[in-house]
A and B are shown apart, each in its own frame.
Chain A
Amino acid sequence: MNAITAPSPVVAVRNVTKRFPGVLANDRVSLAFHAGEVHVLLGENGAGKSTLIGILAGMQQPDEGEILIDGQAVRIGSPRQSLEFGIGTVFQHVLLVPSLSVIENLMLGGGWWGRLVKAPALARFRELSTLLGVAIDPDAIVGRLSLGEQQQVEIMRALWRGEKVLILDEPTSMLTPQGVRDLGEVIKRLRAKGVAVILITHKLLEAYEFGDRISVLRLGRVVGDIPPERLSAMGEAEATDAIIELMFGKEAARSGEAETLVDTAHRQRQVARDRAPRLTLRGVSTEAARGECPLREVSFELWPGEVLGIAGVDGNGQKHLAEVLAGQRGVSAGRIELNGGDITGAGVPARRQAGIRYVTDERLGEGTVGIFSVATNLVLKEIGRPPYWSRGWSDWDGIHGHARDQIGRNDIRTPSERTPVAKLSGGNIQKVLLAREINSEAQVVVFNKPTYGLDLQNTRLAHERIIASADHGIAIVVISTDLDELIKVSDRIGVMFQGRLAGIVENGPDIERRVGLLMTGVEAA
């Protein structure tokens, strides 16, 4: 299907297959990457994009198939070899040592025993700074840079030993709209210099905006390919249709999943704000912890049945906001009220009793205990309280019965209620969390990145769940870095910038621009 077309590609994979326990991550994938071309790999979570770049980056070995570099079959046995072949990768997670300076991070990998000679490294640093058109202090400690700057350092590191191929894995997920534009500039410059850029994304619009060629992956296979000559002839709408057809097939192109992907409709709903607010924050601040952005005088009101979206680049205080609402973190100043009553000093159990729920984004990090059973995780926030505990004794039969009930009701796919929760898929772990947090007693629910890492079907379910909860009169806060998602579910959208709530805007036609301005701190509402 992927005719390896002339002129000869810089890098190509041919019939690459990679299996993981229970999953066929890559199934006879063949792709060719050309110099001076931005090649977009598009697909939803679990489509096999990450595995493919893992193979090109030398982190994983294919079970079958071969990798060609300049027409020669090669084996990329380690990240080092990948770099030596001129393939640089910028991963989704920051892979820099936070305690080292920029230049030290870039020199990392330069060898084993020698003295650090900075002069040549600085020369190369300036060369790349010019190439990328960025200005960063080489002696700055990486941990103190913004995420956008860290990403620029990562791109430099990827290009450090050669500028043949640059792989970018979901590079826009942690950037401001301005940062995305800057990245676009960098990509254009690199393309002009003849670098083969491989861009991994799950966002249609990005694929169209940045890509010269688009390949679509689904369930480990390449299901389609739009070459440059075809893509350049298409308009945006036309391209979108073509890609959706590739992703879902002709007849399914208008299915729910496709809609989830392209639906950018604004939520239009009337929320009655003439009564007393359900939740009120007045001047809430927190103390700074290492590497975290504290809150500074955050105030807002939230009414029953309303969905308040919180947008912003990661690391602008969203984590503290969620934790303060859940009662996990104390405030240093300010006041929080629920239905007019002061709950500022209440901890997690008291807030939970009062109906405040928190669906965390760190599903395995803090939301669940991975080695514990699904059943235990479903009552993790109730330990010691009736009905499953009396006088401190556990009623395991009751706990397991409750779990079987919830598993059936919430369609949690698990072998049994005794299965360790870490063995479930991300979507099913999310269902466990939703089952635990959302019930008839919920008054306020805080969602942090509710669809992060989920496939389209589970993303749609999560969105439906949020809207359904709001329709039941629950007041909802949704924190997300995905603006499209917020536009889809929110009544109003607030923007966090450097720990402050830079402003709240009503959802409406012009919202992208207004939120974008708030995100960069240009405009204070």
Chain B
Amino acid sequence: MSASADIDLTAAEQERQERRREILAAVLRVLIPVMAALVMGGIILLILGKNPLDYYGFVLRRGLLTWGGLQETLTRMAPLLLIGAGLIVAFRAGIWNLGTDGQFLIAAVLSAALAPALITVLPDALTIIICMVVSMLAAAIWSLIPAILKARYGINEIITSLMMSFLGVSFANVLVKLFFRDPATTVPQTMSLAVEDRLPRLFDTTIHLGLIIALVVIVLVHVMMTRTAFGLKLQVVGANPAAAVHAGLRVGWLTIATFAISAGLIGLGGAVEILGVWGVVRADWNPAFGLLVVPLVFLARFNGYATIGFTLFFSALMIGGDSAARRVGVPNDFVLVLVALLLIFLAVVEYLDHLRRKKAGA
């Protein structure tokens, strides 16, 4: 009797230790790549004759430690978080939605076209809600072709969504230039939404309501994926499509739903960026956030809360990097190099971890 109790105790203790070790390992799996990427990026800067400490120091100060910079950083987070939320849904369901930029831009252009027109006849809040809904729907519709081709014929969605992305970017430009053009301007652009009609600011800052929307959405997405039947179904489809068929899930329908939700959230990102920050889309405007967010979502291992942290980190990098381009003389494209390094080191660390586990005998 007492012997078995002892065994239970040790088993429980072991489990606790195991958990602690797992948490530590998870933290290390993230920290090591971040540090390695920063160090490697520093080496590149040294080779180019720049002082990495100056650069990182400036980026940190400008991106996070000054009030103005922090506001910009937090504002930038809104579209990135919404794109991240969309990608989490897709990636967890095993779907490579790489059509982000097209979905984002189409939604942005529709918001930019609709809002100035609607605001003349509708109240402010209603205008913004309608714009968001229409943008989400448009982006979702734009993702339908890859979704149906995947669901019905199993055609690789990487390629179809990428092509729809190129198409979407061009199509958005066509919309701006031919259909929604503001006749009063020389450079083609849509009518603009007056600053006071845009998404409300939070308190006395320049940060708009979009950040709150984005945070709520990504938390909701996280909860949906981990605590609901729908989220679990998506994960079954993502982890083993054959098992999904075996369990009687409607894989085709779930695939289409995944694409629609993913694109819809990305489209919401586009709407929020226009309704909150720009108020207008100029021809050939394309922030190309899509591929940039992919690494963040991976780094966060498709976890919504972790994505918030990485998005903050990355936004600060972007905002700080922009100013650093002017002040330290390192082009902001260096941020791309850092992100790439981050992704590569993340993958390498994961690989080493896998090797270690294999050796340890799992």
Contact = CB atoms under 8 A, between A and B. Distances in A.
Interface string A431-458: 0000000000000000000000000000
Interface stretch (A85-93, A379-387, A502-510): A379-387
B361 A21 contact: yes
Interface in A341-389: 347-349, 352, 358, 360, 362, 365-372, 376, 380-381, 383-384, 389
Contacts of A365: 242-243
B248 A349 contact: yes
A376 B201 CA distance: 44
A366 B240 contact: yes
B91 to A, nearest CB: 14
Contacts of A349: 248
Nearest to A348: B248
A327 interface: yes
Interface stretch (B66-74, B223-231, B303-311, B327-335): B223-231
Contacts of A371: 239
B246 A328 contact: yes
Interface in B175-224: none
Most buried by A among B15, B227, B243, B249: B243
A416 B227 CA distance: 21
B228 A360 contact: no
A392 B239 contact: no
Contact of A348 (B227, B247, B361): B247
A383 B233 contact: yes
Contacts of B230: 384, 392
Contacts of B359: 21
Given A21-B362, A366-B245, A389 B229 contact: yes
Interface in A417-439: 423
Nearest to B14: A415
A349 B245 CA distance: 11
Contacts of B227: 393-394, 396
A380 B229 CA distance: 11
Contacts of B36: none
A120 interface: no
A380 B247 contact: yes
A328 B245 contact: yes
A384 B249 CA distance: 10
Q: Name B's interface SS.
A: helix
Contact of A416 (B15, B228, B360): B15
Most buried by B among A22, A376, A380, A381: A380
Contact of B243 (A352, A369, A389, A423): A369
Nearest to B250: A347
B228 A392 contact: yes
B236 interface: yes
A360 B249 CA distance: 16
A264 B235 CA distance: 45
Nearest to A23: B361
Contacts of A396: 227
B228 A394 contact: yes
A352 B248 CA distance: 9
B243 A368 contact: yes
A116 B277 CA distance: 63
Contacts, number: 71
B243 A383 contact: no
Given A392-B228, A392-B229, A394-B229, A370 B240 contact: yes
B326 interface: no
Contacts of B235: 372
B145 interface: no
A484 B92 CA distance: 44
Interface in B115-130: none
B361 A380 contact: no
Contacts of A22: 361-362
A423 B362 contact: yes
B223 to A, nearest CB: 10
Given A22-B361, A370-B240, A393-B227, A360 B246 contact: yes
Contacts of B248: 327-328, 347-349, 352, 381
A464 B230 CA distance: 37
Contacts of A372: 235-236, 239
A369 B234 CA distance: 12
A328 B244 CA distance: 10
B232 A367 contact: no
Interface in B341-358: 358
B241 to A, nearest CB: 9
Interface string A62-100: 000000000000000000000000000000000000000
Contacts of A383: 229, 232-233, 236, 247, 249
Nearest to A396: B227
Most buried by B among A347, A383, A423: A383
Interface string A1-29: 00000000000000000000110000000
Most buried by B among A389, A394, A416: A394
B15 A366 contact: no
A396 B229 CA distance: 11
A347 B249 CA distance: 9
Contacts of A416: 15
A21 B246 CA distance: 31
A52 B11 CA distance: 36
Contacts of B247: 348, 380-381, 383
B266 to A, nearest CB: 24
A497 B240 CA distance: 31
Interface in A323-353: 326-328, 347-349, 352
A380 B245 CA distance: 11
B362 to A, nearest CB: 6
Contacts of A384: 229-230, 233
Interface string A126-168: 0000000000000000000000000000000000000000000
B264 to A, nearest CB: 19
Nearest to A362: B242
A380 B243 contact: yes
Nearest to B236: A369
Contacts of B239: 369-372
Contacts of A376: 232
A384 B230 CA distance: 7
A22 B240 CA distance: 27
A367 B243 contact: yes
Interface of A: 21-22, 326-328, 347-349, 352, 358, 360, 362, 365-372, 376, 380-381, 383-384, 389, 392-394, 396, 416, 423
Given A369-B236, A381-B248, 4 more contacts: A21-B360, A21-B361, A328-B245, A358-B246
Interface of B: 15, 227-230, 232-233, 235-236, 239-240, 242-243, 245-249, 358-362
Q: Which 10 A-B pairs have the closest CB atoms?
A: A348-B248, A21-B361, A384-B229, A366-B242, A366-B246, A369-B240, A349-B248, A381-B247, A369-B239, A389-B229
